[in-house]
Amino acid sequence: MKLIYRIHLLSILLLGFISTQAQGWRGQISGKGPVVEKSLNLSEIDALGLSISATVHLMQGNSQQIRIKGQQNIIDNIETDVSGGTWNIRFDKNVRRHEPVDIYITLKEIDKLAVAGSGSIISEKGIETTDITLSVAGSGDINLDLQASKAKMSISGSGNIRLNGHAGSTDISISGSGSVRALDFNTDHCTVGIAGSGNCEVDVKDDLKVSVTGSGSVLYEGSPSIHSAITGSGKVRSKS
């Protein structure tokens, strides 16, 4: 009798799980049809938040232009609201499977770029700005050719930021196992904070301030004055 009861209970639980999964799947969409291209005419944008698995090809120009390549029902599912100059690129409905999505964006001003998840933002040409904030949460990537007065960047997770160019001052924060590759991005003043096993590579002219908690590491190029505080097995070392 106990065996029959257990089998009956297991059957009920299994049916409940299947029903829940089916309801979740009904709320999702899968990509259908060939890859097509769609142009968007949105309000003026100076900041991007990428929250889907897509590649943003970023350029700077005199006029704003946006093109999206992907399957029709997938690109039609991308939200297009712009709030306070920020376009948060995300899906309206949950998506299961689809062909790669590529978003080609030309902006006049670029102040903030953020990736949440596994997406990527890459610059097709050089970007010039005064102050810029870059952030990656998850396993995404930002890859830029950048000229800025001030650059502030943060990574939470295993993401990557790769930079070429120059900034007067740079502030870097890494939490987790992420990495900043900026040996080809020279800066006059640089502050690096790492919590975890992240690593950072920088080219610094005048002064470098480093704080590491954990096993993180900083590799620097140049001859800056060094101010470091290490808790754990972290390291600060010169490339030369």
Residue 13, pLDDT > 70, answer no
Residues 16 and 68 in one domain: no
Closest of 50, 215, 65 to residue 141, by C-alpha = 50
Residues 104 and 184 in one domain: no
User: How does residue 26 score in pLDDT terms, banded at 50, 70 and 90?
Assistant: low
- pTM of the prediction? 0.89
- 48 and 89 Cβ atoms separated by less than 8 Å: yes
How much is the average pLDDT of 227-233?
98
User: How does residue 12 score in pLDDT terms, banded at 50, 70 and 90?
Assistant: low
For 56, phi then psi, to 5°, come to -95, 120
CATH of the domain at 229: 2.160.20.120
Look up tokens 């505080």; give the residue: 229
pLDDT mean across residues, the chain = 92
Residues 10 and 79 in one domain: no
Residue 11, pLDDT > 80, answer no
**pLDDT at res. 240:** 86
Domain-embedded: residue 122: no
Residue 97, pLDDT > 50, answer yes
Domain-embedded: residue 119: no
Among 20-24, 104-108, 192-196, where is mean pLDDT lowest?
A: 20-24
- 201 and 183 Cβ atoms separated by less than 8 Å: yes
Domain-embedded: residue 90: yes
Domain-embedded: residue 120: no
Amino acid at 57: H
Domain range enclosing 97 = 31-109
Residues 239 and 132 in one domain: yes
Residues 138 and 236 in one domain: yes
**pLDDT at res. 124:** 87
Residue 18, pLDDT > 60, answer no
Residue 206, pLDDT > 70, answer yes
pLDDT tens digits for range 127-166: 999 999 999 999 999 999 999 999 999 999 999 999 999 9
- 221 and 183 Cβ atoms separated by less than 8 Å: yes
For 76, phi then psi, to 5°, come to -70, -15
Domain-embedded: residue 191: yes
Residues 209 and 132 in one domain: yes
**pLDDT at res. 136:** 99
Residues 238 and 139 in one domain: yes
Residues 99 and 140 in one domain: no
Residues 174 and 65 in one domain: no
Whole-angstrom distance, CA of residue 129 vs CA of residue 146:
8
Containing H/E element for 210? Answer: strand 199-214
Residue 88, pLDDT > 70, answer yes
Q: In the structure encoding, which two tokens stand for residue 52, read together?
A: 């889907």
Domain-embedded: residue 115: no
Domain-embedded: residue 151: yes
Residue 218, pLDDT > 90, answer yes
How many structural domains is the chain composed of?
A: 3
Residues 60 and 36 in one domain: yes
pLDDT tens digits for range 35-73: 999 999 999 999 999 999 999 999 999 999 999 999 999
Residues 99 and 153 in one domain: no
Whole-angstrom distance, CA of residue 184 vs CA of residue 126:
13
Domain-embedded: residue 240: yes
Residues 199 and 103 in one domain: no
